[in-house]
Amino acid sequence: MRTWYFSEMAYHPAWKEGIDRGSLRVNFPNQAVDPVEAGKLLNRYLDEFRLCDEVGIDIMVNEHHSTATCMTVSVPMALAVIARETKRSRLLTLGNPIANRPDPVRVAEEMAWLDCLSGGRLEMGLVKGAPYEIAPANSNPARLMRRYWEAHDLILKALSTHDGPFSWEGEYYHYRNVNIWPRPIQQPHPPVWMTGMSVDTGILAAERGHVVGTLLSGGLAKPMYQAYRKRARELGWEAGPDRFAYAAIIGVGHTREEGYRRADQIADYVRTAPLVYEGFTNPPGYNSVGANVAILKNGPRANRIVTDRHGEQIDHRKATVEQFMDTETVFAGTPDDVFNQLKAFNTRMGGVGHLLFFGQGGFMSHQDAMSNITLFGKEVAPRLLELGVPEAAAAE
Amino acid sequence: MSQTIEVAGVSLEIEDRGTGRPLLFLHAGEGLQPERPWIEILARRHRVIAPSHPGFGGSALPDWFGSVDDIAYLYLDLIRTMGLQDVLLVGACFGGWIAAEMAVRNTARISSLALVAPLGIKVGGHLDRDIADMHSMSRAAFMQKAWCDPARGEVDYTLLPDAALAGIARGRESLALFGWKPYMHNPRLRRWLHRIDIPTKLIWGDSDGIVSTAYAEGWRQEIAGATLQVVPNAGHYPHWEQPEAFSAALETGA
């Protein structure tokens, strides 16, 4: 299991005001930002990313828009800085919200440029994006995945074509001369990742051999991984753990209490993420008709509930660290605690090759973040590298 | 009872009730809702033909289909397929946009037009919101804007069967497909409204919070001889909220 550190580079000084208003996103006016303070925080967060290279773990960057929870507005912009400041870490975009981007060829150019700049260290996540990203991008939520797949195909074609220009006359995108300069070091293109929460996504990712990642819920991840493995077998290949990624909040401390305290601070990310005005939570077409039938029956709050390992319903907005540990959203404690929890998780999931380590969030101090990264990188991550396919899963 | 008719390769669910001069009714973004009393009231004087738009209710949405232009051509084909003449074309809200797109193309079989709080044109400047952003508000806020008395519009979704809920979910997705960007209008349609060469009536609820009577004036100025009738105690859906007064407004001067 490899480790990829990420943080959303939050603007937490405005969280209280946003929480009081009932929305941290989209309709939370940016007068709540002190831009000088934002600049200081960005520099601090980039220092934390740089530390990952020193302690030997990889790096992931994501992006959100119009929100106090995440100041990373552009994955390639953040990675451009990080690529210059690191030497060894692989650099993952998870990801580029390609169905919300009007210009897929521009995405291909940015990814190729980053791959060159970083000496071939780029891993390229192409994602659907969260429902509340639809409004800031004003992209059409209907047929979103159809647009996603056309953008996906065009980006990979642009990265892997060397004898262009070629033309593209699709349903959504139209170009007559695609011929990106530079082209990526990694050929035919940097490794591709997707994210998802459903069996369908597992199947679609397997059909392309992409890495598939999921976020914060073991209960959703396992059926997706299983669907991926099954589909890969049908297609004549065996999907190893390196095809699967899982994002979790992790607090490590010199004592168990310190680890829990850190995890509790980072978990504010999960508690705040759903805080968005109702009008932006479920744009029509983003979710399937079946999911919308369930939402009409149960109300919009049905979205915020997840089921833990014991079948209990947990409300993400209010959960404690212990409850989050039961939904496999959080791993916390001493380095030994966290290693043992992740080893057991790896067994339950049948082997997960990539851990997306949410190691900073909200009000966690710089000192705590640096300590969390260092402890995890030095005392947990090297042991995780030894975890492969668990014996029980290998026998399946 | 609804029936199914295939036009241009698209399977449409259609209500066909009453006898008399044909009235083709194009429904609002919220769907057809034939269980409300409006359709029976209109059917006292007319043969009311009311399709669910492609992707709404039980009507199909083929992969190739995806714009208001497509719907306009489809319904012009529907009129011809059914052999209708002397049609009274009525479109409400999103259906009003479709009706206007039909009328600027071909009125050979359409002899009069009623646009009921139509969406579809841009009147104001870049910073003016002619059409309320129905997709950036909570359901409760939407109901407040769309109805004079929101209680009249409430639907208890927990009482509906899954098939009906699926129809609603499909309709909401389809409305986004057709009208997300530019939001619920065609930036060029206003320039072609002068082509409408049949008697045209605009009908508006006096409490419409989605499109205002100032917006109605924008329509009236572009269509020669168009008149505006305001229905009291009605929001964005006068045919649902005040069906008798709506029916009377439709007949006045017609």
Task: State whether residue A313 is helix, strand or coil.
Answer: strand
- Please report, for chain B, the start and end positions of each structural domain, with discontinuous segments joined by +: 2-251
Global pTM exceeds 0.90: yes
Least confident range of A302-306, B188-192, B207-211: A302-306
Contact B97, B30 (CB under 8 A): no
What's the CA gap between A91 and A59, in Å, rounded? Answer: 5
Residues A109 and A140 grouped into a single domain:
yes
* Cβ contact A368:A287 at 8 Å: no
- Whether residues A259 and A396 share a domain: the answer is yes
Dihedral sign computed on CA atoms, order B232, B234, B238, B242:
negative
Interface contact B207, partner A, CB < 8 A: no
Whether residue A312 is contained in a domain is answered as: no
* Predicted pLDDT of residue A306: 63
A252 and A267 assigned to the same domain: yes
B-chain CB neighbours of A135 within 8 Å are 136
Peptide bond into A182 cis (omega under 30): yes
Q: Does the distance separating the beta carbons of B169 and A297 come in below 8 Å?
A: no
- CB spacing of B177 vs A285 below 8 angstroms: yes
- What is the model's pLDDT at position B85? 98
Partner residues linked to A306 by β-bridges: A314
d(CA A357, CA A249): 6
DSSP readout, B82-103? TT--SEEEEEETHHHHHHHHHH
Comparing A391 with A315, the larger pLDDT belongs to A315
The reported pLDDT for the residue numbered B45 is 96
A contacts of B177 (beta carbons < 8 Å): 140, 142-143, 285
Q: What is the least distance, in Å, from the CA of B196 to any CA of chain A?
A: 31
Percentage helix, strand, coil for chain A under 3-state DSSP, each rounded to 5: 50, 15, 35
Q: Is A47 a member of any domain?
A: yes
Nearest CB among B165, B172, B177 relative to A297 is that of B165
What pLDDT is attached to residue A64? 96
pLDDT in tens, A60-101: 999 999 999 999 999 999 999 999 999 999 999 999 999 999
Inter-chain residue contact B157 with A296, CB threshold 8 Å:
yes
Instruction: Choose among A143, A279, A284: nearest Cβ to B136.
Output: A279
Q: Look at residue A395 in the predicted model and tell me its pLDDT.
A: 44
What integer pLDDT is reported at residue A313 of this predicted model? 73
pLDDT digits (tens, 9 = 90+) for A46-59: 999 999 999 999 99
| Structure confidence by residue, pLDDT tens digits, A239-293 | 999 999 999 999 999 999 999 999 999 999 888 888 899 999 999 999 999 999 9
Per the structure, the count of domains in chain A is 2
A384 and A280, same structural domain?
Answer: yes
CA pair distance A202, A196, nearest whole angstrom: 7
Q: Is the peptide bond before B31 cis (omega within 30 degrees of 0)?
A: no
Q: Are residues B157 and A143, on separate chains, in Cβ contact within 8 Å?
A: no
Q: How far apart are CA A39 and CA A363, in angstroms?
A: 16
List residues bridging with A123 in a β-sheet: A92
- 3-state DSSP assignment of residue B190: helix
Q: Do A296 and B168 touch (CB under 8 A)?
A: yes
Residue A220: the pLDDT is 84
Contact list, B180 vs chain A (CB under 8 Å): 138, 140-142
Contact partners, residue A48, CB within 8 Å, separation at least 6: A5, A7, A360, A366, A369, A370, A373
Taking CB atoms and an 8 Å limit, are B173 and A140 in contact across chains? no
* Full domain range(s) for residue A99: 90-192
Cross-chain Cβ contact A289/B173 below 8 Å: yes
pLDDT digits (tens, 9 = 90+) for A170-197: 999 999 999 999 999 999 999 999 998 8
Mean pLDDT of chain A: 93
Q: Is residue A394 part of a domain?
A: yes
Cβ–Cβ of A142/B180 closer than 8 Å? Answer: yes
Q: What is the DSSP letter of A69?
A: S
C-alpha angle A170-A175-A177 in degrees, rounded to nearest 5: 135
Contact A314, A333 (CB under 8 A): no
Q: What is residue A298's predicted lDDT score, i.e. its pLDDT?
A: 83
- What's the token pair of residue A320? 């404690």
Min Cα–Cα distance to chain B from A130, Å = 16
Q: In the prediction, which pLDDT does A58 show?
A: 98
CA angle A209, A289, A301 (to 5 degrees): 100
Tokens encoding B40: 């029976």
CA–CA distance, A348 with A318 (Å, rounded to integer): 26
d(CA A283, CA A132): 8
Q: How confident is the model at residue A301 (pLDDT cuts 50, 70, 90)?
A: low
> Is residue B47 within 8 Å of residue B22, measured between CB atoms?
yes
Residue B180 and residue A27: Cβ atoms within 8 Å? no
Structure tokens at A173: 């995108």
Gyration radius from chain B CA atoms:
17
The number of beta carbons lying within 10 Å of the beta carbon of residue B10 is 21
Q: Give the model's pLDDT for residue A31.
A: 97
Q: Is the pLDDT of residue A218 over 80?
A: no
Q: Check whether B179 has a pLDDT greater than 50.
A: yes
Please, which residues have CB within 8 angstroms of residue B19's CB and are 6 or more apart in sequence?
B47
Kindly report the nearest CA distance between residue B22 and chain A, in angstroms: 33
Q: Quick one: A19 and A164 in the same domain? A: no
pLDDT for position A307: 66
The ipTM of this complex is 0.94
In a domain, A203, yes or no: no
Instruction: State the pLDDT at residue A304.
Output: 54
Percentage of the residues of chain A whose pLDDT score is greater than 90: 85
Residue of chain A with shortest Cα separation from B137 = A279
Q: Is residue A310 part of a domain?
A: no
Cβ contact B177–A142 (<8 Å): yes
- A77 and A33, same domain (yes or no): yes
Shortest Cα distance, chain B CAs vs residue A302, angstroms: 14
For residue A291, what are its two tokens? 């999911």
Residue whose structure tokens are 């009008």: A279
Domain B2-251 has CATH 3.40.50.1820: yes
pLDDT, tens only, B78-131: 999 999 999 999 999 999 999 999 999 999 999 999 999 999 999 999 999 999
- Candidates A296, A297, A301, A303, partner chain B, best to mutate (most B CBs within 10 A): A296
Chain A interface disruption, residue of B154, B165, B174, B184, most A CBs within 10 A: B165
Pair of tokens at residue B58: 């039980």
Closest-CA distance of chain B to residue A142, Å:
5
Per residue in A143-153, pLDDT (tens digit) is 999 999 999 99
DSSP letter assigned to residue A327: T
* A111 & A67 share domain: no
Residues of A in contact with B136 (CB under 8 A): 26-27, 135, 279-280
Residues A250, A332 contacting (CB under 8 angstroms): yes
Residue A377 lies in a domain: yes
List, for residues A378-392, the tens digit of each pLDDT value: 999 999 999 977 766
What whole-number distance in Å separates Cα of residue A84 and Cα of residue A2? 22
Residue A201 lies in a domain: no
Reduced to 3 states (helix: H, G, I; strand: E, B; else coil), residue B28 is strand
> A317: number of CA atoms within 13 Å, CB side?
11
Domain for residue A262, yes or no? yes
Contact A142 B168 (CB under 8 A): no
Contact B168 A285 (CB under 8 A): no
Residue A375 and residue A246 share a domain: yes
